Amino acid sequence: MLARVTQSRTIHWLGRQLSNQDNPASWLDPLMARINPMWVQAYTPARVEQAIQDTDDTRTFVLRPARRWTGFRAGQHVNICIEIDGVRRKRTFSLSSSPRLWEAQGLVSLTIKRLPGGLVTNWLHDQLEPGQVIGLGEAFGEFLIPEPAQPVLFIAGGSGITPVLSHLETMVTQDYPAPVTLLYFVRTHRDVIAGEKLRALAYRHPVLTVRVIATNESEEPRFLNGEDLDEIPDLKNREAYLCGPKGLMDLARDLLHQRGVTDDRIHSTFFAPPAPTRLEITEPGGQVTFAKSDVQVGPEGDTNLLEIAEAAGLSPQYGCRMGICHQCSCRKTRGTVINRLTGQVSGPGEESVQLCISVPQGPVTLDV
Ligand code: FES
């Protein structure tokens, strides 16, 4: 039985290599990586220029991507690709530098917090040093400042500050003409990321107000509250940007709603996989048919389609694994899936689904 499974996986692997025949990068890259990693074609190589320890558990990596990388807008994310013990790993992070730095000096930065037990973040902290090369995907994401300029409120928690840093630096460089307020929640003042930079930006740009609030420095935890928001001039007409733990974002959204800020003015982005919505169905799961690969897998409970595919020896595309980047999107030709984040149930017919956040409800057929 084991031999049959192994044989079938080998055939799928071979099939994938053969289907890549049109793509010379897939054959040449291993060779290129040995000669000069900056020549690799499958992703944009980015050399680490600097690694800066921001706080006990946060480092900023300054990278120089190969010039073919197409750049980004403030607030966007990128996927990075690294190899750990011979296995390629991809993760999504926000860019913390401003696009101006890329345009002027060809540099970008990622500010990354070490996650307890996190394979990739721990590797980045412990192993990634100046001179090494990692892979960089193209930038994506809609956490963008609207044009023309309007008053803005940022509410950030912990390492959720990273896309906000990119925004603030960009706004100050462009002499943003409307008021901007940042409420930045950290556990203690030791955990403030880029404190000096934030102070310097506020000093340079009088319409920028930065307030750092420590949640765990008094006996009772100090969370965001109504008074914090009531102190912000003209709150109702601000565009609000939320990035941080889900609890902070939910609370912020509620308090903003109570003060008349409508949903179309509230923008949010996750910096870590949000806690999945509890599925209200008695028995999630169902047989999954990966039609192109000719593989069928029996019911796997509430496991998402990406993990089901990987467990079956397939390698569909993915990036963030948390529903942001859409790199795992593929065609469902039949069956119903549930969105793990929202609890929304799909139709039964043909449509695009994100594998990493979709759980089958009954038999499902995919173009994978
Ligand atoms: S891997 Fe990014 S949305 Fe699924």
DSSP 285: B
Whether the pLDDT of residue 281 is over 80: the answer is no
Residue 133 makes CB contacts below 8 A (sequence gap 6+) with: 37, 38, 45, 46, 47, 48
User: What is the chain's length?
Assistant: 368
CA distances in angstroms from 261 to 108, 237, 265, listed in the order given: 34, 7, 7
Strands of 180-186's sheet in order across: 208-214, 180-186, 152-157, 239-243, 266-269
Token pair listed for 6: 């192994």
Indicate the pLDDT class of residue 34, thresholds 50, 70 and 90: low
Domains and CATH numbers, the chain: 39-136 (2.40.30.10), 152-269 (3.40.50.80), 288-366 (3.10.20.30)
CA distance linking residue 192 with residue 200, whole number of Å? 14
What are the helix (H) ranges across 246-331?
246-258, 305-311
Token pair listed for 282: 């008695």
326 ligand 1 Cβ < 6 A: yes
Is pTM beyond 0.75? Reply is yes
Q: Give the residue, out of 269, 308, 322, with the most ligand 1 atoms within 8 A of its beta carbon, to mutate for a pocket test.
A: 322
**What tens digit of pLDDT does each residue of 244-262 get?**
988 899 999 999 999 999 9
Token pair listed for 366: 């995919």
Rounded to an integer, the average pLDDT of 177-196 is 96
Average pLDDT of the chain is 87
- Lowest mean per-residue pLDDT among 4-8, 132-136, 254-258, 301-305: 4-8
324 ligand 1 Cβ < 6 A: yes
Between 34 and 292, the more confident residue is 292
Interval between CA 281 and ligand 1 midpoint (Å): 23
CA distance linking residue 303 with residue 275, whole number of Å? 14
| β-strand partners of 91 | 80
**What tens digit of pLDDT does each residue of 47-60 get?**
999 999 999 999 99
